[in-house]
Structure 1
Amino acid sequence: MSNLLTGKVAIVTGGASGIGLAAVQRFVAEGGRVVIADVAQEAGEAAATSLGEAAAFQRTDVTDEASIQAAVDAAVTRFGRLDVMFNNAGSTGDGSSITEIGPAGFDKTFVLDVRSVVLGHKCAARRFKEQGTGGSIISTVSVAGLQGGWSSVSYATAKHAVVGTIRHAAKELAPFGIRTNGVAPGVIMTPLIAKAFGVPPEKADELVQYLVGRLGSKQAMGRYGSAEDVANAALFFASDLSAYVSGTVMPVDGGISSYTLSTSDEEIFAAAQEFARSLT
């Protein structure tokens, strides 16, 4: 490790599992100190304990501004400052088609996936301005925010809105030395994918392995992405290596968003349904 984050303090929302946990672990390995901000208290506390003094858990509901602000306050109280905000928490939301989507499901998806990112920018940027130190804001997008057809209308629209937030904030926050960027994962094999297909949590790892074995070799780079792949991209944006980079969204997708949409999403859906049926 090269200690890219020595002296830096970060908040990672949704940091108790999946991409968020991988980022927490990577940040700590690079010398950073991290607040794990998540609603999953047991998992978050366990993750913080495993990482020792460099990590702390703060129960955080990212749909609530006061809760996000409390995470910022917790970082400052525990570690003395804040340098990085990783707006990672989110969900696939309402999976209804455009002809079936209702206002409630659409709005709920936007609150979790878009409002949380706006509020994360707000709370972190206020702290950065108060410190006078600048800072880095990172947000998890998705290939669904770069190209149509990868997900439901609510999720795709929400992630496109996150891209808009990043681009707007880059201009507004630049005078204060605050940069903002996004990472856009492709198909990343985490337990969250099991939840999206209705597979019981205890079978999540089995589903992931099933999909990797069934379809991984068909991907352009011969494998699916991992949470660690996304964490490495987030590390770049969190570190001073990206000191002159703002307003960008980096795809972490093995190249799939650079060419015509393949049948990957349809194949995953079919294979996951097949796996789910095998459990009954």
Structure 2
Amino acid sequence: MNEPSKVITSPAALRARIRAGQFEKPTAGYGGDALQANLVILGRADAQEFLRFCQANPRPCPLLAVGEPGDPALPTLGDIDLRHDLPRYRIWRDGNLVAEPTDIADLWRDDLVSFALGCSFSFEDALTRAGIPVRHQSAGRNAPMYRTNLATRPAGRFSGPLVVSMRPMPAADAIEAVTICHRFPLAHGAPVHLGDPAEIGITDLGAPDFGDPPDMRPGDISVFWACGVTPQAAIMAAKPAFAITHAPGYMLVTDIPAPHAERRLTGVGGADQAPRPTNG
């Protein structure tokens, strides 16, 4: 089970524990309503093409911040040092996963450009407050994530399938979840699919491509959101010489409250406004 949220009083306190090597778990359920972020770090030569991939695919890749070359800070998101502030990273060479370290200080280079992308963990606090079960949190598991048969829009070498996260819930709750999540466009927005997983190419819910199997219960339906692990599938296709990402479920927890992220980061909208559709 997750330790009580009161033990970690703020996103900054959580990052301090991560920097000290005292927290190595998935971050779902931690940080309260803080905006959480996926991470992609690429050399300057690959960064512009990846930026175009994000712009072409805003649903799975909602841009929160882009770092300056060689700078591990993302000041618009908090007092952040990307070399230390995620519980687990992934290292990629020529599109192949080669390591999953808990710190990347020894791998940092002056040409690296960082991309923070919105994460669906950011709206889970709102779901919980509405009484909608978030089963992977209550079970102390990582969220299940799956490759689909839905293609992303390619940008240069970057392409590949849409990856989705899934949360099982009763059908009545799923309708409310759609309404709630429309309010979080920087956290992937509303679900991309409800119901039969086979319709999006998922053959076995019990064998996710990333994360842990779901806690399905009688009367549940499967609810799928676009997922920020999608860029990792694109990295496998593009095969850049070097890349760093978060490990699925081990996110960057920012200082931005998720309900106000759109207004804080883009200057428009906000979760306190009426729900509106997001771009697909």
**Normalised by the size of structure 2, how large is the TM-score?**
0.26
Higher strand share: 2
**Normalised by the size of structure 1, how large is the TM-score?**
0.26
Larger Rg: 1
Higher RCO (C-alpha under 8 Å, 6+ residues apart): 2
